[in-house]
Structure 1
Amino acid sequence: MRAAWTAGSVRAQALLNRRLGVAGTGGLAGCTSFSEALARLAASPYGHDVRPDQTVDQAEHALAETVLWHLRVLAGWLPRSAAELMRACAAWFEIGNLLDHLRALHGADSRPPYQLGALATAWPRLAVAGSPGELRAALAASPWGDPGTDETGAVAVTMWAGWAARMAAASPHIRPWAAAGAALLAARERFLLQRPVPELAARRLAGLLGARQGDIGDFTGFAASLPSEARWVLRAAENPGELWRAEEGWWHRVDQDARELRRHPGPASQPVVACVALLAVDARRCRTALELAARGGGRWEEFDALV
């Protein structure tokens, strides 16, 4: 068992060499056209899925697909006891698949699904649902649970709340990120979009944020009521309109925490958690850089402020 964790940790460190890093993504952001940035990205380790002829949306999807491929490779080096941790990490992609499928069932366009392989929780069963009602029934019979509706927005909130709960349970290193992410989700729904949180989502969020948070009707009081592991994320937002600042702060905290986890020895899963987080941070920087390049390129200061 220990040998498998050691092999997985070594593989995790190797995968981190597949990142572009701040300097590399800053170079992408400085490209004066999307095609120039995309060609550079396709020639990088992200060329596993990124192609020079893709649109912005396709390239962003391919960035995520590359991260998923790395997770699948990493999972193959880890012991069976790591299976739930890796499935929890990959659940972000399963939620993306499910929501795209649900939109398609409601008549919208959809993208190719992410290829989850053994990291799927329930996707093979969800993928064959032929109507929104069938998809809801498949969810109810899966570990995700019944969202209580087939309305896309409510399903999304319930799924993201469930993912936060899964991530918090998967590793103590992830729990502060998951709790803060849950706070962002609840604040966005209640105070920015001003719509009620679905019942199942509210129960899942209460497990991370405390039972009181659902009863507080103003943003400031909500932020003050949160447990300390979640409260920090809303300090960057004085009102709901500044939640984007809080989200940027969340990513910065994940990046810094993951770097610390990588530097210091700890439990066997620690290097794996750090690897997954840092791969996600790098892909997000690449996405930001592509969007800036598509607008004609940005100065380093602009890119640095966004990442």
Structure 2
Amino acid sequence: MSVGWVAGAVRAKALVDRYPGADGAREIAACATLDDALRCLAATPYSRYVRTAGGLPEAQRAVTAALLWHLRVLAGWLPRGGARFLVPLAAGFEIANVVSRLLAQDGRRTEAAEPYRLGALETAWRSLEHAGTPAELRTMLAASPWGDPGGDTPWALVTGMRVAAARRTAVVVPHARPWAEGRAALLIARELFVYQRSLSTPVRRDAARLLGARAPSAATYEEFREGLPATSRWVVADVAEPGGLWRAEAGWWRRVHSDGAVLLREARHGPGVVVGAVAVLSVDAWRVRAALESAARGGRPGEVFDALA
């Protein structure tokens, strides 16, 4: 293993050790007000970003901005070419930029939120940010590593990107393939059985690569579950109805955290340790965002936070 990977792995572990973890999130969730919760974050790596937050949405976005910054720092520690393992894992930030732009274009926001700054973790944002319409965005996506989402409605664009992100993660980051397959199963289940939407041809193709051909073609949720391969069925194994998919989401995050923790302990020095660090850091940010919502409601954790913590 190269010296660069050894150094990156050591620094990745040190970065994880600074984050609040489950105990810190519980303390934040128990705060009586959002201001109290933000004071709790003052001694954490999130403090640089959350100190100027004016409300819950701003505070939650600040948490994810802090996560992105630390992923960029982690990418900078890796040897040449090492950042490619992190690009698909950070794809959610680029998707969030696109969602914000689409909301502004259709009038649901007066202006787009300040985009996340992706640096070396960008896939194609410097091109996508110039798209003036959903149709232009589709054209730009089709010419990029994202691929054609199969439609230019906002939901088609975003769904196509999310499934493409799962596909790219499975290909580029073998350690994360189980998470990618589980994420794809959740995405497709929601599209088919919650939103009652048909899959575009590219989305169906990507889904088949990850889940096999049976599940994406299922007519009922029960058939969908039965059609999933064992490598992805775990995510919905205990969810009998589409209305319970939020529990599957929490279960997905638990799996990502437990697998990431194992990689940190057992993968020695190399890409596995770095992927494990990204997993644990991402779960921490997800958990802290839920804890902030709990504090904003007077210290009453919601079901999703309870299911994850």
Instruction: Give the alignment's TM-score, normalised by structure 1.
Output: 0.95
CA contact (8 A) 1:102 1:135 kept: no
1:74 maps to what in 2?
74
Aligned pair 1:217/2:219, yes or no? yes
Verify: 1:46 aligned to 2:46, yes or no.
yes
Q: Give the deviation of 1:299 after TM superposition.
A: 6.3
**Consecutive aligned runs of 4 or more in structure 1 exceeding 3 Å deviation:** 299-306
SS at match of 1:108: coil
Match of 1:137 in 2: 139
1:1-307 matches, cutoff 5 A? 2-109=2-109, 110-266=112-268, 268-298=270-300, 303-307=305-309
Partners of 1:215 and 1:151 in 2: CA distance: 22
| Cα pair distance change 1:141/1:300, threshold 3 Å | closer
Equivalenced residue count is 307
Q: Percent sequence identity over matched residues?
A: 48
Range moving further from structure 2, 32-41 or 182-191:
32-41
Tell me the CA shift for residue 54 of structure 1: 2.0
**Which consecutive residues of structure 1, in runs of 5 or more, have no partner in the other structure?**
none
For 2:284 and 2:123, the matched residues in 1 are separated by: 25
Q: Which amino acid aligns with 2:50?
A: V
Could you tell me whether the CA contact under 8 Å between 2:149 and 2:159 is conserved in 1? no
Distance 2:303 2:75 in 1: 37
Q: CA deviation at 1:190?
A: 0.4
SS in 1 for 2:274: helix
Local SS of the residue matching 1:236: coil
The RMSD of aligned alpha carbons is 1.8
Mapped to 2, the partners of 1:251 and 1:268 lie a distance apart of 23
CA-CA distance at 1:256 after TM superposition: 1.0
**AA matched with 2:128:** L
Query: Within 2, Cα distance between the matches of 1:267 and 1:224?
Result: 38
Q: Is the 8 A contact 1:16 1:275 kept in 2?
A: yes
Q: Offset of 1:145 from its aligned partner?
A: 1.6
Q: 2:304 and 2:280 mapped to 1: Cα distance? A: 21
1:286 partner amino acid? V
Q: Residue 305 of structure 1: CA displacement?
A: 3.2
Whether contact under 8 Å (1:157, 1:198) holds in the other structure is: no
Deviates more, 1:183-192 or 1:100-109: 100-109
Residue 128 of structure 1: how far off its partner (Å): 1.6
**CA deviation map 1:217-266 (0-9, x unaligned):** 11111111111110111112111011111111111111111111111135
Determine the C-alpha separation between the residues in 2 that align with 1:111 and 1:244: 26
